[in-house]
Structure 1
Amino acid sequence: MNKLKMAIIGLGVMGRNMMHRLLPQYDEKIELVAICDSDESSLYREIAEAAARPQLYTDYRQLLDEVPLDLVYIAVPPSLHYDVARNAFEKGIHVFCEKPLANSLSEARSLVELAEKANRLHAVHFSFPLEPAVQKLQGLLEEQAIGSIQRMELFLEFPQWPRAWQQNPWISSRHQGGYLLEVGIHWIQMIQQMFGPITHVKSEIEFPPDANQSESRAKAVLRLHNEIEIHLSGTDRREGEERVSLVVYGDEGILALENWDNLYRSSRETELQPVPVDGEDSMLPILKQIIQILNGEPGKIYDFYDGYNAQVVLEALRNPGEGFTDVRAQLLGDQSAEVIL
């Protein structure tokens, strides 16, 4: 079997993680043939630490013109996603893109259309629904372990933004950064996969005096198709450690997914207690699923349609209107088959 030929465009946190941690796990099936970053010194620094010896580029257009590829991983800032993906599709290359899909809803919709026209694999790096703790949460909900869902709370609360480990020139910008975009998009997409479409959004956003800076406080209600509401609390001024969590209230108990992967459960008679999570049969990483699909095997990915539908809710959240914004007309496809009650 010939190895798949892959390029990484963008060597920030996610690009480096792909290059040094994920790809080496699959070196028998996929070959890193090129990397690209606008910072030339970053290219040489990363290549010095890698076992692979890919070609180096500072211009992704030149890379896509010159290097035969099966797959490109797009890990540049969101404002560049559209142009890189468009160029890749035009050359018949499969695309694996970081979230959010694009930097605007119009760009995201165009990327869906380009992906369909190209007839290539199109995947967004959404892995959260396949995390073992989320899979366990889904299983408990399917068993109606807490009865009928009444409401939910979503917490996106940080002592500071950006966090100490993710400093870069754009992640705190109002244009393409902020915790709603960077972190909230994961939870929005997971909620859409697990509970069905979010159809109405009402939000209040506070920004710092500096017009270039991303949100400082967010308060919102996300209403599901079945009228169940998710109350969102966001801040970059939380006292103590960050809290990124979803709490699901049922008529017979509570399930809480705390800080991504810690699951708790209570009943009418008991307080919240940890729920053991078995991760041995995990479907992650998403790269493994992509490799399987490109080799003609079954696999599970979240495509540009999923990316677009998450962005519909994200944009409504970040751009408050009067009262609730009805986003049903903008959503693509029918997600109701994946609803859990």
Structure 2
Amino acid sequence: MTRLKMAVIGLGKMGLHMIQQAEQAELNGSIKLVAVCEAHEETLRNFADAHAEISAYSDYMQLLDEHEIDLLYIAVPPKFHYPVVMEALQRKIHVFCEKPLANSTEEAREMLEAAEQAGVVHAVHFSMPHEPSVLKLQELVEQRSIGAIRKIELILQFPQWPRAWQQNSWISSREQGGFILEVGIHWIHMIQHVFGPITEVSSEVLYPDNAEECEHEVQAVMKLEDGIRIQLNGIAHFAGKERVSMVVYGTEGTIALENWEELMMGQVGQPLAPVEVDESMGELPVLKRVIARIQGQPAKIYDFNDGYRAQLVLEALRNPEGNTSHISR
């Protein structure tokens, strides 16, 4: 089997994480990481010093001109996804892009159309539906373990934003940062995957006086296609603990996914108790599945259509118009 030649654009936290996954895949003989690109000079130099065997570039166009790439992983800030992805698609390169897909619905739509026309594998790095706790949650919902669903609550609480490990020049910006975009997009996608399409969004976002800074609070009500309500409460900059959780209320009980992965459940009138999750249910890493799909093997991935559908909800949340937004696809 021919090894796929892979390149990584962006050497931030996610880019370096994906390189570690690529190195594991190299050991299995499925791919070879041949080049990276990073605009930050010191970061690029440090990487190049430690990885002499991998070509290093500060200009992604030069990288693409000088290497025949099979798979491009894109981990640059959101507003740069569009130009990099579109260039790769024009060259018929398989694309694996970080979330969110784009920085607007218009960009996301164009990227989806270009990907379909290019006839290549296109994937967004949505990992939550592959997690064991989410797979178990989906199983419980499908088995009606808590009866019919009454409503869903989504809680996004950050004492500090950006978080201590997350310091960079864009993640606190109003243009392409904020916890709705950076964290909320994961949950938007997962909710639509498990519970069905979100068709209505009504939100109120509180921004600070600094016009460059991202949101501090959000309250929203969303509706699924079947009318089930999703209440979103988000806040940053307060005294307390971080909480990123979803609570699903049913006619016969409640399921909670606390802090990303702690699954709990209880019947009406009873306390919540931990749910045993089989870690072997997990379907990670996503890169392995993208490679399999490129090689023509059956593999579950979330493509640009999933990215576009999530982007529609994300932008309706981030840019309230004073009225309920009806999500049309």
Q: TM-score, normalised by structure 1?
A: 0.94
Structure 2 Cα separation of the partners of residues 266 and 126 of structure 1:
28
Structure 1 Cα separation of the partners of residues 322 and 105 of structure 2:
20
RMSD: 1.1
Aligned match of 1:69: 69
Please state how far the C-alpha of 1:46 moved relative to its aligned partner: 2.2
**1:120-148 CA-partner distances (Å, limit 9, x unpaired):** 11100001111100000000111111011
User: Which amino acid letter does the alignment assign opposite residue 257 of structure 2?
Assistant: L
SS at match of 2:279: coil
Structure 2 Cα separation of the partners of residues 46 and 165 of structure 1:
19
Of 241-250 and 34-43, the range deviating more from structure 2: 34-43
CA contact (8 A) 1:159 1:242 kept: yes
SS at match of 1:302: coil
Structure 1 consecutive aligned stretches of length 4 or more whose deviation exceeds 2 Å:
46-50
Please state how far the C-alpha of 1:324 moved relative to its aligned partner: 1.4
**1:155-187 CA-partner distances (Å, limit 9, x unpaired):** 011001100101000000000000000000000
User: Which amino acid letter does the alignment assign opposite residue 165 of structure 2?
Assistant: W
Structure 1 Cα separation of the partners of residues 322 and 281 of structure 2:
46
Aligned match of 1:16: 16
Aligned match of 1:88: 88
Unmatched runs of 5 consecutive residues or more in structure 2: none
**1:31-86 CA-partner distances (Å, limit 9, x unpaired):** 10000001232122124445x72111000011111111100000001111000011
Aligned match of 1:335: none
Aligned match of 1:39: 40
Q: TM-score, normalised by structure 2?
A: 0.97
Alpha-carbon spacing, 1:238–1:146, altered in 2? closer, same or farther (3 Å): farther
Aligned match of 1:339: none
User: Which amino acid letter does the alignment assign opposite residue 38 of structure 1?
Assistant: A
CA contact (8 A) 2:147 2:251 kept: yes
Instruction: Using the aligned pairs only, state the percent identity.
Output: 54
SS at match of 1:111: helix
Structure 2 Cα separation of the partners of residues 48 and 23 of structure 1:
19
CA contact (8 A) 1:16 1:46 kept: no
SS at match of 1:235: strand
Aligned match of 2:286: 286
| Mapping of residues 57-136 of structure 1, within 5 Å | 57-136=57-136
Structure 1 Cα separation of the partners of residues 281 and 326 of structure 2:
39
Aligned length: 327
Structure 1 Cα separation of the partners of residues 323 and 271 of structure 2:
36
